[in-house]
Amino acid sequence: MNLNKRQVDKFMAEAEKLCQLEGTQLTELRRMILERLIKAPGPVKAYDLIDSLRVKGRRITPSSVYRSLEFFIQIGLVHRVNALNAFVVCNDHGSHHNPVILVCPDCQATTEINDEGLYTSIFNHMGAQAFFGKDGSVEIRGLCKKCAKAETKSNAKAKTS
Ligand SMILES: [Zn+2]
Ligand SMILES: [Zn+2]
C-alpha cells in the first residue's frame, strides 16, 4: 500500500481504536506487524514478516506473529491471501467486510473489490452447489494492468520475429 505518513498515522490510530473496542491493546508486536504490512508494496508472506521482525534482535516466536495476524483478520484490518499464502492490510480498514480479492500471479499484486452483494452472491451459488467456503475468502486470479501490458508486448514481439 502506498500511504504517506499522515495516512499511516491515521491507520495506526484507527487500529488502536479497534483494539480498544475489542478490549485489548495495540501491543508493540502488533504495531510492528501492521507497520510492515502497510509499508510493503504488496502482500507479505508470514515467514518474511517474521524474518523482518527478528532483525532487531528481538525474541519473536512465529506463533505470536500468527496469533497477531489472526487477530487483525478478525477485526478486519488484514486479509489473508490464500493464493499467495500471504497477508495484506485491508484498504477499507475498519469496515469489517468480506472482500473479493483479485490476485495477479505474475507480480503478486492484489486488489480488493468491496462489494458485499457480489461476495454473498458467490457464497449463495457455492451453497447451491453444495460447495463449502472453507475460510470465507473469495479470490480471483487475473493479470494486473502492468503484467497484462507486458504480456501483450511480448506476444507482439513473438509475432513479429
Ligand atoms: Zn478489505
Ligand atoms: Zn501483475
> What would the 3-class secondary structure string for the chain be?
CCCCHHHHHHHHHHHHHHHHHCCCCCCHHHHHHHHHHHHCCCCEEHHHHHHHHHCCCCCCCHHHHHHHHHHHHHCCCEEEECCCCEEEECCCCCCCCCCEEEECCCCCCEEEECCHHHHHHHHHHHHHCCCCCCCCCEEEECCCHHHHHHHHHHHHHHHHC
Mean pLDDT of 74-86: 92
Assign 68 a pLDDT band (cuts: 50, 70, 90): very high
Find the ligand nearest to 110 CA: 2
pLDDT, tens only, 23-66: 999 999 999 999 999 999 899 999 999 988 887 667 789 999 99
Among 105, 111, 74, smallest CA distance to 91 is for 111
Find the ligand nearest to 142 CA: 2
Find the ligand nearest to 113 CA: 1
Amino acid 114: pLDDT: 86
Residue 16 pLDDT > 80: yes
Assign 154 a pLDDT band (cuts: 50, 70, 90): confident
Ligand 1 centre distance from Cα of residue 63 (Å): 24
Find the ligand nearest to 147 CA: 2
**Ramachandran assignment for 146, one of left (phi > 0), alpha (psi -120 to 50 degrees), beta (any other):** alpha
Ligand 2 centre distance from Cα of residue 154 (Å): 14
pTM comes to 0.86
Amino acid 60: pLDDT: 86
Ligand 2 centre distance from Cα of residue 17 (Å): 34
Assign 67 a pLDDT band (cuts: 50, 70, 90): very high
Domain boundaries, the chain: 5-160
Ligand 1 centre distance from Cα of residue 96 (Å): 7
CB 30, CB 87: distance < 8 Å: no
Amino acid 93: pLDDT: 65
CB 42, CB 88: distance < 8 Å: yes
pLDDT, tens only, 88-129: 999 876 667 888 999 999 999 999 998 889 989 998 998 899
**What are the grid coordinates assigned to 72, written together?**
487483525
Find the ligand nearest to 150 CA: 2
Residue 1 pLDDT > 70: no
Ligand 1 centre distance from Cα of residue 55 (Å): 29
Amino acid 56: pLDDT: 63
| CATH number, domain 5-160 | 1.10.10.10
Amino acid 29: pLDDT: 93
Find the ligand nearest to 112 CA: 1
> For all residues of the chain together, what is the average pLDDT?
89
Residue 150 pLDDT > 80: yes
